[in-house]
Amino acid sequence: MAYADRYSGSADVQELRSAAVRRAPVAVVDIGSNSVRLVIYDGPWRHAYALHNEKMICAIGRNMVRSGQLDQSGTELALATLARFRLVAEGHGVGTYEAVATAAARDALNGADFVAQAEKTLGAKIRVLSGEDEARIAADGVLAGIPEADGIVADLGGGSLDMVTVRDGRTGAAETLPFGPLRLMDISDGNLSKARNAVAKGLEKSKLGAALKGRSLYAVGGIWRALARVDMDEQDYPLHVLHHYSIPATRALKLCKIVSTLSRKSLDKMKSVPKRRAEGLPYGALVLEQMIQSFGLKDIVISAYGLREGLLQWKLTREEAAKDPLIEFARDWNLREARAPGHGGELFDWMTPLFHKESEAERRVRLAACLMSDIGWRRHPDDRAVGAFRQVLRGAYAGADHRERALMASAIFYRYAGESSFPEKIDVGRLLGEEGSQRAVVIGLAARVAYSICGALAGELSATPLRLRGETLLLEIPASRQALLGERVGKRLADLAKAVGRKAEPVIV
């Protein structure tokens, strides 16, 4: 069995997904202390597309510590939002709801009454999660997007900080602390020093920190994503994708210390800070600051996946949940966009002789790049290379860090543009490094040769194998198919041979 099929399952299996199930999207509703959110997924798949994603800042947990009650104006807005969500979900033909409420609804004296009204308004059962359940589900969401996560998942909502350790694809010990920005504002009367002291004392009692020194924190929540945007701007970072964005702990600590002292007026002036996050950002920064110091963390990794993705994971079969998120996305994209979906796997196997020393991690990224290699054929020729590059670089998928995104995107650029230089405004070299840049060139030029031989037709490449022999790169062409070997194929083969430090030699067999 070819590696591509063994690794990810045949395309036929993907195409046999029940059309009836595909017409029954899954709706996830998350009623948090600060926001109420709806995400409608196209089905219970390892990589599910979000058909609709909407949230409303309702702040039902504002002033809850002092009053013991959910905020009245916040709950009214939340119920109106849920009424809208119900109509939108019905319009999309949602077959299954997974609706949850978290810290505010769990702790408020009138939380149960609000949940009862919310269930009637939404037309679906709402599960009130315990702090530990909330932490574990969010951690499962992080693992869905970053399977190799090793350290602690920390989900900072409006009312709570939910933490759970992760390693080897599994969750470990969990804790929840009342350190969401809304809660901290309330217990500290808006005094940041008082809030910092409360967080420091709470983290001192945590039983999780002992095993976290030198490991990563996987940050979940809008406040921390806003903080990451500030860092991106400060670093003039070339890829504005928050998922898997990593900040070294020393830099994150400096950033947190600065942001936690800024006034609301100063934060409002920063373009990278969403207006709705400005009030809570200093509190989120001081929580992160204290966690870095208390736990001795190595770095902060932003996860766009969290509670909602975790809830979806819980609805998957064990077989579906075990699949690789990157490969599943690439296979699905291949099925939707490629002229001949079977060609992507054949391309991977055909070029494999060029990569005899690659690791398993490198193989999966190369497989994904091959599956994405025909996404640009509908584009105008002048936009194919750069347009397809941007699609891959900024695509809404998981399972790849920023270096891997840059490598796959660059490979697709070279597949369409040959050895042309990137436009000056495209700066991914700092993400790739010299070795990654060279690997992207070889993958891209190999794909360029393959497409010039067979024109994306499935079943052709196996008849024209590529081989390394000494200092020579051989391309074997059957005598009956000698016409495939034109001037364009010869030139592109020579470019590929040069990239791998060999001399090209087409051979008629």
Please state the φ and ψ torsions of residue 497, each to the nearest 5 degrees.
Answer: -60, -40
The 10s digit of each residue's pLDDT in 184-209 is 998 998 899 999 999 999 999 999 98
State the Cα–Cα distance between residues 26 and 48, nearest whole angstrom.
10
The pLDDT value given to residue 6: 47
The pLDDT value given to residue 4: 54
pLDDT tier at 21, thresholds 50, 70, 90: very low
- Cα dihedral 384, 387, 390, 392 sign: negative
pTM: 0.89
pLDDT at 18 exceeding the cut of 70: no
Lowest mean pLDDT among 63-67, 128-132, 376-380, 393-397: 63-67
Tokens 């670093």 correspond to: 235
The pLDDT value given to residue 250: 97
pLDDT at 267 exceeding the cut of 90: no
pLDDT at 142 exceeding the cut of 90: yes
The pLDDT value given to residue 427: 86
The 10s digit of each residue's pLDDT in 205-260 is 999 988 899 999 999 999 999 999 999 999 999 999 999 999 999 999 999 999 99
- Largest Cα separation within the chain, whole Å, is 85
pLDDT at 13 exceeding the cut of 70: no
Measured in whole angstroms, how far is the alpha carbon of residue 478 from the centre of its chain? 44
| Per-residue tokens: 13 | 């299996």
State the Cα–Cα distance between residues 309 and 217, nearest whole angstrom.
18
pLDDT at 90 exceeding the cut of 90: yes
- Cα dihedral 278, 284, 290, 295 sign: negative
The pLDDT value given to residue 491: 94
The 10s digit of each residue's pLDDT in 210-221 is 889 999 999 999
State the Cα–Cα distance between residues 256 and 263, nearest whole angstrom.
14
pLDDT at 47 exceeding the cut of 90: no
The pLDDT value given to residue 2: 56
pLDDT tier at 11, thresholds 50, 70, 90: very low
Cα 110 to Cα 60, 100, 113, 340, 379, distances in angstroms: 11, 16, 5, 58, 55
- Cα dihedral 209, 214, 220, 225 sign: positive
pLDDT tier at 382, thresholds 50, 70, 90: very high
Q: What is the mean pLDDT of residues 151-179?
A: 94
Nearest by Cα to 195 from 259, 120, 284, 116: 284
The 10s digit of each residue's pLDDT in 383-432 is 999 999 999 999 999 999 999 999 999 999 999 999 888 887 888 999 99
pLDDT at 278 exceeding the cut of 90: no
Nearest by Cα to 139 from 28, 305, 284: 305
pLDDT tier at 24, thresholds 50, 70, 90: confident
The pLDDT value given to residue 289: 97
The pLDDT value given to residue 493: 96
Cα R_g (the chain), whole angstroms: 25
State the Cα–Cα distance between residues 155 and 177, nearest whole angstrom.
11
| Per-residue tokens: 235 | 């670093």
The pLDDT value given to residue 495: 96
The 10s digit of each residue's pLDDT in 321-379 is 999 999 999 999 999 999 999 999 999 999 999 998 899 999 999 999 999 999 999 99
The pLDDT value given to residue 9: 43
Nearest by Cα to 91 from 128, 48, 51: 51
The pLDDT value given to residue 5: 54
Query: Which domains, and CATH codes, for the chain?
Result: 3-128 (3.30.420.40), 132-309 (3.30.420.150), 325-508 (1.10.3210.10)
